Amino acid sequence: MIQRFLENPILKPSMITPSSAGMAVECTLNPGAFEFNGQTWLLVRVAERPVPVEGKTTVSIFDDKGALKILSFDNADPDLNLSDARAVSYRGTAYLSTLSHLRLLCSDDGVHFHEPKPSRSLTGMGSLETYGIEDCRVALIEGRYYLTFTAVSENGVGVGMISTRDWQTFKRHGMMLPPHNKDCALFEEKVNDKFWCLHRPSSPELGGNYIWLASSPDLDHWGNHVCIARTRPDMWDSGRIGAGCSPIKTEKGWLIIYHGATNKNRYCLGAMLLDLDDPTRVIARSKSPIMEPAETYETKGFFGEVIFTNGHVVHGDEITMYYGAADEVICGAKISIQAVLTHLASGG
């Protein structure tokens, strides 16, 4: 059902130029994918951290205009708190240890990717993206590309949207789904005269990390939220689930590739099938994963035992899926749609 690229990993941090002299690329991961001008493109999440300076703790943020700003704290400063490994806290404000932006790469064969010259990036901008933008899905709807991504700031973690027709000029649509939300995948065509998206709110108390569906008249405003899939106790998707890229229209229904993780953060991929005319209706769902971390580049790395996809291109029966492995490198795999449908029809 799944054929990994022999060339994996196809992208790793050493292949990417840092965004500025003071920064180092820590991880390249979770790319959006699309086709444009006869080429395959990835919109890669590049996670950077400031180059270490002796005696200092440095973090980076985006300012209001999208420019990267490095903050430096003296390690002897009593207001600095380093007790949490994932964050740096200074005078009550928590900063992330890495900052992500989105970098465009292109390819003629869908396997070997390079940065265009000059390099092209999308960065966090404004008060809702100071801590970066991450894990971008790209959907092509009525001739326009819609980018839905995780917008991170001290205000919370929500879903931001940017659109473009030509990848030169971009329209910022603001935050389309408020905190805490991630993993937003747009359907690429209207169903029942409405736009649709999958999303993944998270709850501090009742509820969990479940997949929800919403609809919209205009892609900017969303309503009629319904929960369509929950985590399943004692299964491979017991801890959290979230949609991959846009649902794929098949004769059997809308095919969704999704990630599921256990409470121990082992991330696998599974599939779901939604009714073509009523996407709130789940027809089938993988009992077992369609893909699990197996290769060394998936089991070892910045965060091992993780495969996470939010980008694919589709031709006929073939999905070319791009995915982040071990939260550090980018890989590719081919998937047969018919094989996934057979897996689902046979009970998953």
Positions that interact with a second copy (CB under 8 A): 92, 94, 127-128, 131, 152-158, 173-181, 199, 201-208, 210, 212, 214-218, 220-227, 230, 233
CA dihedral 97, 103, 106, 111 (to 10 degrees): 10
Residue 338 host element (H or E)? helix 337-345
Closer residue to a second copy (CB): 116 or 217: 217
Least distance (Å) between residue 294 CB and a second copy: 30
- The three-class DSSP label of residue 298 is helix
Closer residue to a second copy (CB): 165 or 230: 230
Closer residue to a second copy (CB): 145 or 222: 222
- The three-class DSSP label of residue 8 is coil
Least distance (Å) between residue 320 CB and a second copy: 31
Closest CA to 19 of 123, 112, 106: 123
Closer residue to a second copy (CB): 186 or 255: 186
Structure tokens at 17: 């130029």
Closer residue to a second copy (CB): 227 or 345: 227
CA dihedral 175, 158, 258, 14 (to 10 degrees): 100
Closest CA to 200 of 263, 248, 150: 150
Closer residue to a second copy (CB): 91 or 117: 91
Least distance (Å) between residue 338 CB and a second copy: 33
Least distance (Å) between residue 108 CB and a second copy: 37
Closer residue to a second copy (CB): 132 or 260: 132
Closest CA to 36 of 120, 123, 100: 120
Least distance (Å) between residue 224 CB and a second copy: 4
Q: Determine if residue 103 is left, alpha or beta; phi over 0 gives left, psi from -120 to 50 gives alpha, anything else beta.
A: beta
Least distance (Å) between residue 310 CB and a second copy: 19
Least distance (Å) between residue 221 CB and a second copy: 4
Residue 4 host element (H or E)? strand 2-4
Kindly tell me the sign of the dihedral angle through the C-alpha atoms of 112, 114, 120, 124: positive
Least distance (Å) between residue 27 CB and a second copy: 19
Closer residue to a second copy (CB): 238 or 250: 238
Q: Which residues of 136-149 are buried (b: 16+ CB within 10 A; e: fewer)?
A: bbbbebeeebbbbb
Least distance (Å) between residue 170 CB and a second copy: 16
Q: Say if residues 322 and 309 touch (Cβ distance below 8 Å).
A: yes
> What backbone phi and psi angles, to 5 degrees, belong to 211?
-90, 125
Structure tokens at 276: 């073509």
DSSP code of 191? B
Closer residue to a second copy (CB): 113 or 212: 212
Q: Which residue(s) pair with 23 in the sheet?
A: 50
